[in-house]
Amino acid sequence: MADVEFKIDGHVAHVRLNMPDKMNAISGHMDELLFEAWEEINTNPEIWCAVLSADGEKAFCIGADISDGPERKSRMALAGGLTGIGGPMVKLQKPLISAVQGFCVGGGFELAMCSDIIVAANNAQFGLPETRHGIIGECGVVHRAVRQLPHRIAMAMILTGERIDSAAALQYGLVNEVVEFGQLDEVALKWAHKVNKCAPRANQAAKAAALSRLGYPLDVALMTRFEEIEKYAESEDVKERDKAASEGRRPSWTGY
């Protein structure tokens, strides 16, 4: 069984961490497999969205596998959980849904925060334990946390190492839905099907536009022309959209 399972079902890519005995800590080998998965998702037009999950009830991911040693070279970079320290930055172009259970801490927390939609099991615990253990570096997780959580909630987590549970994560807008652990995969897949009802190229263009101007003033974002949106305007799906509208039917998207 692979350390990271990857499969495509319809237009959904499934990426699953598969080291529950190590609480799905990311080893160098797992890191490489994740990198390959993100590359396939980005380049395969038949993939419209992805679901990231993990095996076992105890942990989604506790971050890097420290048994690899401090000299480990990583692509994951925790520059977003999807790239490695000193490695190339990987931006996932397709929508990403994370299904999170148990401990989701450190680099694992960052990996979840790279997603666009998070479904959490009711046993999920989110945390940044780095400073409690005397660890801090070019730590992408703190930069994401302070942008995705209320400021003082994020700073309290950063400066104390204390975790928040799934109910608090829902209250603070970190996750979209909280479910029983046994329903986690099913509900995450339902979100994927909701996403894939939309035009895939339109979704990709919308994600690129929204995230690329997230840190800019509104007037700058409003005046920006987005290459992805302009490319979508010339796509087959735009022709299908207009044809379906004239024929009074639902469009049948192709992603081209």
pLDDT tens digits, one per residue of 159-206: 999 999 999 999 999 999 999 999 999 999 999 999 999 999 999 999
pLDDT at 47 over 60: yes
pLDDT at 227 over 80: yes
pLDDT at 85 over 50: no
User: Is 110 labeled as catalytic in the residue annotation?
Assistant: yes
Unique residue bearing structure tokens 């590359």: 39
Catalytically annotated residue among 32, 40, 130, 186: 130
In this prediction, residue 143 carries a pLDDT of 86
State whether the Cα torsion 35-51-7-229 is positive or negative.
negative
What is the pLDDT of the chain when averaged over all its residues? 89
Unique residue bearing structure tokens 């690899």: 68
Catalytically annotated residue among 46, 110, 138, 234: 110
In this prediction, residue 37 carries a pLDDT of 92
Counting every residue written for the chain, the total comes to: 256
In this prediction, residue 129 carries a pLDDT of 85
State the CATH architecture for 4-196.
Answer: Alpha-Beta Complex (3.90)
What confidence tier does 84 reach under pLDDT thresholds 50, 70, 90? very low
Mean pLDDT of 8-16: 97
- Buried/exposed 224-234: b ≥16 CB within 10 Å, e otherwise: eebebbeebee
pLDDT at 137 over 80: no
**How many Cα atoms are found within 13 Å in the side-chain-facing hemisphere of 143?**
12
What confidence tier does 31 reach under pLDDT thresholds 50, 70, 90? confident
pLDDT at 94 over 70: yes
User: Is 32 labeled as catalytic in the residue annotation?
Assistant: no
pLDDT at 72 over 60: no
- Measured distance CA(17)–CA(228) in Å, rounded: 31
Run of H or E residues at 36:
helix 28-43
Mean pLDDT of 58-67: 88
In this prediction, residue 77 carries a pLDDT of 38
pLDDT at 78 over 80: no
Q: Which residue has the higher pLDDT, 236 or 74?
A: 236
Q: Which of 2, 201, 28, 27 is nearest to 15 (CA)?
A: 2
DSSP structural state of residue 167: H
pTM: 0.91
- Measured distance CA(221)–CA(231) in Å, rounded: 18
In this prediction, residue 138 carries a pLDDT of 59
